[in-house]
Amino acid sequence: MFHPLRVREIERLADDAVAVTFAVPPELRTTFRHTPGQHIALRRTVDGQEIRRTYSICTPATDEPVLRVGIRLVESGAFSTYALKELAVGDTVEVMAPAGRFTLAPRPGHFVGIVGGSGITPVLSIAGTLLAQQPDARFCLLRSDRTAASTMFLEEVADLKDRYPERFQIVQSLSREEQQAGLPSGRLDEARLRSLLPALLKIDAIDGWYLCGPHGLVQGAERALRALGVPRTHIHEEIFHIDNGAPTAPAAAAPAHSTVTATLDGRSGTWPVHDGESLLDAVLRNRADAPYACKGGVCGTCRAFLVSGEIRMDRNFALESDEVDAGYVLACQSHPVTEQVELDFDR
């Protein structure tokens, strides 16, 4: 469900990024309380067409939540262009309650974030909350950006370093500037991480790894960690951009006629699934309140429990393997393999 929230503040973060803060009225404070690492979906309608995007919350989680997100301009991005060029203080934007499982509820331990570009946004909330609430916790941030001018939240990260010099460690790479200066590329790719991480940290003493950024960076970091012996259960990932060539599951034979039964907010219905369309689109034709944001297999907003039948998912960058094993699917990426499929969005 979306809530209209007023824009309280807009700050320029980098040459192509802003931070937008929303005013949360007292009656919605509980709704908008977030776990560090979560995101919110924003919605606007242009010429009768609805645009939804998810943006991560950058502020620490506190009892008096400040709802602030980082938005970077994406080439021909309908929402980010609007946010950077038109959005003004006092405007109203429709906002969904925080969601997402790329989270760290503060606990003692040593944690690491490996981020690229705007991937810093949720990790800033994770590190800020952890260090403020857990005097025994430590955080190491490895970040990769193109240039200093494009680096988001420079001040906020420097502030963490000032406040927690013993417990917060940062390694910054500027890939483009280092290349231009004729130095070896500072990109945090798989090979660099495999040599850098053991020199920097005691790998098997790390309690959790948080990887966030473009698809290539996250995949490379995951391969490096697996090669260094880090168990899959210690690695958490969130992908911001999907390259066009990102893998999709091989197509399976689809039944000639299929139906989807969906339960949403306690009400159920059964509808036909048209050739090639996703289960989410089939449900949306009949229930406009079905939850979604990215429709790209990234945000996890459309997560549903597969009650019966079989489906094939095109791609999944949002669900952890234990959620898939437990029977959860992304409705926006799912196509029926059996004639009848039943989903439950309430579980």
Q: Given CA atoms 299, 48, 86, 23 in this order, what sign does their dihedral have? A: negative
- CA–CA gap between residue 273 and residue 258 (Å, rounded): 6
* Sequence letter at residue 152: M
User: Count of residues binding ligand FES (CB under 6 A)?
Assistant: 13
Q: Does 218 bind ligand FES (CB under 6 A)?
A: no
Which position among 294, 306, 341, 343 is part of the footprint of ligand FES (CB under 6 A)? 294
Q: Shortest gap between Cβ of 303 and ligand FES (angstroms)?
A: 8
Rule CB under 6 A: say whether 24 interacts with ligand FES: no
Is residue 137 at the binding interface for ligand FES, with CB under 6 A as the rule?
Answer: no
Candidates 173, 168, 176, 118; CA nearest to 143 is 173
Q: Are strands 168-174 and 138-145 parallel, antiparallel or unpaired?
A: parallel
**Max Cα–Cα distance, the chain, nearest Å:** 62
Q: How far apart are CA 238 and CA 300, in angstroms?
A: 10
142 binds ligand FES (CB under 6 A): no
Q: Rounded to whole angstroms, how far apart are CA atoms 220 and 259? A: 39
- The two tokens of residue 326 are 């437990």
- Taking only Cα atoms into account, the Rg of the chain, rounded to an integer number of angstroms, comes to 21
Can you tell me which of 5, 212, 225, 299 binds ligand FES, judged by CB under 6 A? 299
Q: Per-residue string for binding with ligand FES, 237-276, x by CB under 6 A?
A: ----------------------------------------
Work out whether 302 is an interface residue with ligand FES (CB under 6 A). yes
Tell me the closest approach of the beta carbon of residue 296 to ligand FES, in angstroms: 6
Name the residue nearer to ligand FES (CB basis): 220 or 300.
Answer: 300
293 binding ligand FES? (CB under 6 A): yes
Residues that bind ligand FES (CB under 6 A): 292-295, 297-302, 318, 330, 332
